[in-house]
A and B are shown apart, each in its own frame.
Chain A
């Protein structure tokens, strides 16, 4: 069974640009969550999608957005990039329902974004 796949794995952008990251969840998983990981802040929750609807949202500015397609694949977009957006962006999928109860999130390897 294929795991969670994130693309691209590495990318470099400059301030003011925008970026789109992609996540393909495990087959059959309907929930996709996104996290930002930085050395100083640890793992910060961005948002979660379930059946194409945003179900949860963290405390990030509106420059961070996402969506989920009918095949459960998800994308996140960051517009007007800032230096502080440099981070590892992790996607996680679960079968859906009460992921917060079971805790069984399956993570991809992440997309490492560097903003210059």
Chain B
């Protein structure tokens, strides 16, 4: 079945460091891919998405490129801030069941 695998956390960085959170997927067909973010005490919110191969999603300085050849959708940011501390979830759409399938989440901690 379809699945999403994320790197284990926590990821601990200093402010202004470069961020990469790895995400790979297994899917039949051509899913859409997403990154959601969950700030402390809040629900999840959509950060960015890509709907087809080679698409790049971007928002708030974060970027991710849909790589079909490597079945990956890694999240990157050039310079993280303390306010980016949160849990990040990679997800894919299952077009057959119309469900979103989430990874286990990666906690990011940014220190000043």
Does B102 contact A43, Cβ atoms closer than 8 Å?
yes
Q: Of B93, B97, B102, which one neighbours A56 at CB under 8 angstroms?
A: B97
Does B98 contact A109, Cβ atoms closer than 8 Å?
no
Q: Of B43, B46, B89, which one neighbours A108 at CB under 8 angstroms?
A: B43
Whether A43 contacts B105 in the complex (CB less than 8 A), given A99-B100, A105-B46, comes out as yes
Cα of A59 to Cα of B102 in the assembled complex, Å: 14
Give a binary string over A86-102; 1 marks a CB under 8 Å from any B CB, 0 the rest: 00001010000011111
- Chain B residues at the A interface, C-beta cutoff of 8 Å: 32, 34, 41-46, 49, 51, 89, 91, 93-95, 97-105
- Chain A residues at the B interface, C-beta cutoff of 8 Å: 4, 33, 35, 41-43, 45, 48, 55-56, 90, 92, 98-110
Query: What are 6 sample pairs from A and B whose C-beta atoms fall under 8 A apart?
Result: A42-B105, A43-B105, A90-B43, A100-B32, A100-B95, A104-B46
